[in-house]
């Protein structure tokens, strides 16, 4: 079984600086700031996944795509691809 680590802090650091530069980053920041994103973890194998805090949280496609692209730009592979 792969060990996993959270990179949610890295995402927060990135999105807090980017929110001033792009509107999409500002929207992602606002969505995350409502405590909608529960985890963003990476396995030792280099695969990542993210989860919402609960099943009632709605994740628009643009948020999903942004988070997925961000993880891939960090050099990881999305677990469900």
Q: Are 48 and 81 in contact (CB under 8 A)?
A: no
Please indicate, yes or no, if residue 26 is contained in any of the structural domains: yes
Helix axes 8-18, 61-73, angle to 10 degrees: 110
Whether the per-residue pLDDT at 61 is higher than 60: the answer is yes
Q: Give the three-class secondary structure for 3.
A: coil
Structural domains in the chain (count): 1
Q: What is the span of the domain harbouring residue 9?
A: 1-40
Please indicate, yes or no, if residue 23 is contained in any of the structural domains: yes
| DSSP one-letter string for 41-59 | EEETTSEEEEEESSTT---
Tens of pLDDT along 15-58? 999 999 999 999 999 999 999 999 999 999 999 999 999 999 99
């Amino acid at each position: 079984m792969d060990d996993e680590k959270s990179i949610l802090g890295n995402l927060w650091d990135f999105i807090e600086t980017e929110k001033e530069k792009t509107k999409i980053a500002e929207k992602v920041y606002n969505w995350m700031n409502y405590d909608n994103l529960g985890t963003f973890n990476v396995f030792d194998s280099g695969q990542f996944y993210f989860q919402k805090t609960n099943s009632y949280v709605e994740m628009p496609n643009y948020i999903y795509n942004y988070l997925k692209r961000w993880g891939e730009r960090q050099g990881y592979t999305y677990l469900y691809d």
